[in-house]
């Protein structure tokens, strides 16, 4: 999924990169795994007043954007998220970092580490584990060790 990224940092959560209704629909689908328009409509109608046709239109647009896969099931379509919530969020972060910093993510990584508080031992352990795993995938070259 590589649709244009419209970032609105003043909105909470997924609403920073998706519209309000798109975010709600994606949240319902991520929770359900796969669903028909009727299923998602019922998920949303429990929280807000909304027209069935509005849900159908937005879900169809999300499928056109590549965020949802759909298959025909009789007379209805069953929709499934094209990627998990974590994969979607990781992709957004990657695109934002690439857009801001180009090929160098060092300033971002340094910022994350520098802004951890002394109480964030668990986060540091997770980062250390990720670094160790990544180093195992790509052992440093001899020339990079002497730098």
pLDDT, tens digit, for every residue of 103-116?
A: 676 777 777 778 88
Q: For residues 21 and 73, state if they share a domain.
A: yes
pLDDT band at 147 (very low <50, low <70, confident <90, very high): very low
Q: Are strands 68-73 and 35-36 parallel, antiparallel or unpaired?
A: unpaired
pLDDT at 124 over 70: yes
- pLDDT mean across residues, the chain: 83
Domain count across the chain: 2
Q: What is the pLDDT of residue 35?
A: 96
In a domain, 3, yes or no: no
Q: Which of 5-14, 94-103, 138-147 has the lowest mean pLDDT?
A: 138-147
Distances in Å between the alpha carbon of 103 and those of 8, 85, 87, 137? 23, 25, 20, 20
Q: For residues 55 and 32, state if they share a domain.
A: yes
Enter the pTM of the model. 0.70
In a domain, 128, yes or no: yes
Q: For residues 74 and 97, state if they share a domain.
A: no
Q: For residues 47 and 94, state if they share a domain.
A: no
Choose one of 62, 81, 100: the last residue of a domain. 81
Residue 32, domain extent: 13-81
**Please, are residues 40 and 26 in contact by the beta-carbon 8 Å criterion?**
no
pLDDT at 99 over 80: no
pLDDT in tens, 45-76: 999 999 999 999 999 999 999 999 999 989 88
Choose one of 81, 103, 131: the last residue of a domain. 81
Q: 3-class DSSP state for residue 1?
A: coil
Helical H runs in the chain? 20-32, 37-45, 52-64, 85-101, 106-114, 121-137, 142-145
In a domain, 22, yes or no: yes
């Amino acid at each position: 999924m590589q649709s244009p990224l419209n970032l609105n940092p003043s909105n909470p959560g997924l609403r920073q990169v998706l519209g309000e209704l798109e975010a709600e629909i994606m949240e319902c689908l991520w929770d359900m795994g796969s669903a028909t328009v009727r299923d998602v409509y019922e998920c949303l109608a429990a929280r807000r007043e909304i027209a069935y046709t509005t849900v159908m239109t937005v879900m169809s647009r999300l499928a056109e954007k590549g965020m949802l896969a759909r298959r025909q099931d009789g007379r209805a379509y069953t929709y499934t998220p094209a990627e998990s919530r974590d994969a979607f969020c990781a992709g957004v972060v990657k695109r934002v970092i690439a857009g801001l910093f180009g090929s160098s993510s060092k300033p971002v990584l340094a910022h994350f580490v520098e802004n951890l508080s002394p109480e964030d031992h668990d986060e540091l352990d997770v980062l250390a584990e990720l670094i160790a795993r990544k180093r195992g995938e790509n052992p440093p070259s001899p020339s990079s060790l002497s730098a």
